[in-house]
Amino acid sequence: MADRSSIEWTEATWNPTTGCDRVAPGCDNCYALALAKRLKAMGAEKYQHDGDPRTSGPGFGVTIHPGSLDIPRSWKTPRVVFVNSMSDLFHAKVPKKFVQQVFRVMAETPQHTYQVLTKRSLRLARLASELDWPPNVWMGVSVESDDVLDRVDHLRQVPAAVRFLSCEPLLGPLPNLDLTGIAWVIAGGESGPDHRPMDGDWVRAIRDTCVSTGTAFFFKQWGGRTPKAGGRSLDGRTWDGRPAIRRPGLVNMPG
């Protein structure tokens, strides 16, 4: 059963789908692809479906898991939940009906806060009007370089209570970043044996834009051979900004 997560900006993960395909340079060193290969070798049931060897690989074929839909209902304590840490809910191979079922579960478990992240922003925008958007669903897109800023424009079309960006792995500067309608930005460098270095000025510019626009800013890591190799400190402090978490019947918790 999916539960607690080591990802700094969330508390738990929930994977009603698994598997994906590379669609952009930000996918080149995908941690989930490497992890899926190991999980397949270990016999993990969810990761026995292989994907296209040109774009994914062992254990990373897009697969829906109807049996995982009710997992959040079993959690007694409210959680902040990253949806599909091992997939992309808006992948073309995930049926619209299943996406709607995932959103229905999120709406029916308002004690949790859900963070959904996609690179398939165009499909997200096209499906948005056919989905229910409860206030406990945060919707985000990955923005690793300036040439994928159209994802932010697509995100602005979505009626999510909170819209956020994941600028990780940050592969270049974002001089044209417009944060209109965006409540939260996560930024960080790449990790792993083939990690690509991140220039400090790239992330400082994003931070400064967030500060000037009142957008919550979270600096996840500098990156390196391991996620924690470079630490999390940026100019002498840790940046842990996050929108307020709204839980029915409870005092709202600031990020």
Asked if the structure places residue 136 within a domain, the reply is yes
- Residue 78 Rama label (left phi>0; alpha psi -120 to 50; beta): beta
Q: Residue 255 pLDDT > 80, yes or no?
A: no
Model pLDDT, residue 2 = 54
Radius of gyration (Cα) for the chain, nearest Å? 17
- In the DSSP assignment, the letter for residue 87 is B
Asked if the structure places residue 161 within a domain, the reply is yes
pLDDT tens profile 138-170? 999 999 999 999 999 999 999 999 999 999 999
Exposure of 201 in the CB half-sphere (CA atoms within 13 A)? 2
Asked if the structure places residue 144 within a domain, the reply is yes
Model pLDDT, residue 111 = 96
Place of tokens 């270990």: 42
- Domain with 39, as residue range(s), is 12-221
pLDDT tens profile 202-246? 999 999 999 999 999 999 999 999 998 999 999 999 999 999 998
Model pLDDT, residue 50 = 95
Asked if the structure places residue 84 within a domain, the reply is yes
List the beta bridge partners of residue 141.
Answer: 118, 165
Asked if the structure places residue 7 within a domain, the reply is no
Q: 128 near 159, Cβ under 8 Å?
A: yes
Q: What is the dihedral of CA 37, 40, 46, 48, to 10 degrees?
A: 110
